[in-house]
Amino acid sequence: MGLEDDNFGFKVVDLHKPDPLGMVAPVMLNAKQIMQELWRMKMQWDEPLRRPILQRRHSWKSSLELLTIISVPRFYFLKTRYEGSMLELHHPCDASEVGYGAVSYLRVVYPNGKMECSFILGKSRKTPLKTLSIPRLELLSAVLAARMNTAIRKELEMEVDRVVFWTDSMITLNYIRNETRRFQTYVANRITEIRDKTMLES
């Protein structure tokens, strides 16, 4: 990108460089899925890839060219002054049988009513080899969102007025809201972490 744009962009040259902001997390999730399938098949490092896996790898590699059209502003605001504005953090999270993830945005509401929304961070995780139910994966996505909020609040050098966590999983919401039922240790530990990391945001 040119200096006049001051955006983050991608050139698909080196696939080994990290993506600390997680901007291409959804794309990399497909690669993780392929690797997990190889582990499940117990493929040896020098064993040729079987045709179905090879086709999926070629398809994934071809899709990387689409990354070149992604452009993310490096700064959170277009304006240099935001006094009197409301700053909000929004953390949507979700899960499927393939994986789970969360993304964080900063929403700025200016005194004149204008709003801007900026990407901050994204993370995705591949579904564990040990099969988990969708409700448990959705709970893990909520844990991930809570952890991301904690990390961002430590690094963000701005006072945030409001934090919102988003999930379409009623089971996850019921887990978090229920303070009377005794849950299994796996679920209980994650509910406790979510509450501890978000109680100050309610």
Q: What's the mean pLDDT when you consider all of the chain?
A: 83
The confidence score (pLDDT) of residue 75 equals: 65
Print burial letters for 167-179: b (CB count within 10 Å at least 16), e (below 16).
bebeebeebbeee
pLDDT digit string, tens, across residues 87-114: 999 999 999 988 999 999 999 988 888 8
pLDDT digit string, tens, across residues 24-40: 777 777 788 788 888 77
Of 44 and 143, the one with more pLDDT? 143
Q: What's the mean pLDDT in 46-55?
A: 81
3-state helix, strand, coil in the chain (%, to 5): 40, 20, 40
Checking if the pLDDT of 2 tops 70, the result is: no
Residue 88: Cβ-neighbour burial (10 angstroms; 0-12, 13-18, 19+): middle
| Residue closest to 100 by CA, chosen among 123, 129, 121 | 123
* Least confident interval from 76-80, 86-90, 135-139: 76-80
Q: Identify each DSSP E strand in the chain by its residue range.
A: 7-8, 72-73, 86-95, 99-109, 115-126, 162-166
pLDDT digit string, tens, across residues 140-173: 999 999 999 999 999 888 889 999 999 999 999 9
Checking if the pLDDT of 46 tops 70, the result is: yes
- In three-state secondary structure terms, 150 is helix
From residue 160, alpha-carbon distances to 36, 43, 199 in Å are 39, 48, 15
pLDDT band for 62, please (50, 70, 90 cuts): confident
